[in-house]
Amino acid sequence: MNVEITRLASGLTVVTETMPHLESVALGVWIKSGSRNETEDEHGIAHLLEHMAFKGTARRSARDIAEEIENVGGELNAATSTETTSYYARVLRDNVPLAVDILADILTESEFDEEELRREKHVILQEIGAANDTPDDVVFDKFSEVAYRGQTLGRPILGTPDTVKGFTPGQIRNYLSRNYTTDRMFVVAAGAVDHTTFVKQVEERFARLPMTPSSPPVLEVARYIGGDVRETRDLMDAQVLLGFEGKAYHMRDFYCSQILANILGGGMSSRLFQEVRERRGLCYSVYAFHWGFSDTGIFGIHAATGGNELPTLVPVIIDELRKSSETIHQQEIDRARAQIRAQLLMGQESPAARAGQIARQMMLYGRPIPNPEMMERLEGITTERLTDLAGRLFFDTVPTLSAVGPIEQLAPLTDISTALSTPGIQTKKAAG
């Protein structure tokens, strides 16, 4: 792993991985701050800031930003998540100075013009409307809301129409000054990049970043609650998400949870896919996932099916969860490890994927994790650890159920909870 790290006097961390066989470079700025760092009256502002960063600086208009990067065949984009925000570009090696200049410009000299803000609010309102019209987006948003009721972690990243409409340039600057500081930011590049040269470019262009926040960053401790949320809609299919509190990134069972999710629903050979779709034909989509956050996690099973299949589908899923707490085969662990190893190695062939991976590891662990070390962590996972984890995850915690669509025949959460706590019991069809 040809990774080099430099921490500037300002506190900003610069990381590169040289991939000399390439002609392009993927580079970006990752900030250890996202929607969880919003105050009560800032719901949606992290995402709005990400949009507004591209809407004009002291030196460039919004059109200039777009044209300058595309004039050289480059790409520029950004993303906001629960705990991070990223701004990234991909260019040919000769155009790295331009990409660094643009990224620094939008992060240190954005003007947040009132007219641009008005237009971008309208764009985000359309984005919120589109998300509300997409059932598989809605089912995840509602799941988070009930799993972490009344907390920033449970709020949709986009915000609400009312919060978005009310934001001012001053509020955006306050969020920016509190969260976009050098101690929380990482500039990462992968591809045809020279570390020494890149560090000098970053040091020069990012000199205006503040070193300390204007006030302490906000991050309330997560409290998983669980519960039930349903929305009946006149749709062709029902979206159902059954989940449990998972493991944070730094917890011992984090990697074990990743393996368990893969075995249960990580591909066409997984237990849920084979049993629910291939053998019984109960749905066209079913998978399991595990998301880790800094202090909590989510382990979930998502299925999309017809409303008439729900009385059969849910008991089958619960039965597969129960089986996973009783028996895991070594062959399944080996297959899951092979899939993760392949993903890691394939990611190394993409500079964009590699830059993102390095940035995430720097934010989470303070250093890049070599692939052999990652695989060594997975090697210690045994069948006994997996069955023990499954028992604790699925049968010792409060479940969260989110459902959207023709869900009249979906069993009550009390029945599902009883089935999860009593061996061999089946959920019954909801009355009415």
For the chain, give the longest Cα–Cα distance: 69
State the DSSP string of 55-113. Answer: S-BSS--HHHHHHHHHHTT-EEEEEE-SS-EEEEEEEEGGGHHHHHHHHHHHHHSB---
Comparing C-alpha atoms, which of 201, 197, 204, 192 is closest to residue 26?
A: 192
Q: What angle do CA 321, 324, 327 make, to 5 degrees?
A: 150
The residues, ordered by sequence, that sit 6+ positions from 331 with a Cβ below 8 Å of its Cβ are: none
Q: Do residues 319 and 420 make contact, with C-beta atoms less than 8 angstroms apart?
A: no
Q: Give the C-alpha separation, 11 to 141, whole Å.
A: 35
- In 254-349, which residue ranges form alpha helices assigned H by DSSP? 254-265, 271-272, 310-326, 330-347
10 Å Cβ neighbour count for 347? 15
Q: Give the C-alpha separation, 37 to 42, whole Å.
A: 9
Catalytic annotation, pick one of 50, 116, 245, 332: 50
- In DSSP terms, which residues pair with 289 in a beta bridge? 300
Alpha carbon of 23 to those of 43, 96, 120, 195: distances in Å? 41, 11, 35, 15
* CA-CA-CA-CA dihedral for 368, 88, 249, 209, to nearest 10: 80
Q: What angle do CA 80, 86, 91 make, to 5 degrees?
A: 135
At residue 192, φ and ψ (nearest 5 deg) are -80, 70
At residue 362, φ and ψ (nearest 5 deg) are -65, -40
Tokens 């409409």: give the residue.
165
3-state SS assignment for residue 53? coil
For residue 31, give the H/E element and its range: strand 24-31
Q: Is 50 a known active-site residue?
A: yes
Please identify every residue annotated as catalytic: 50
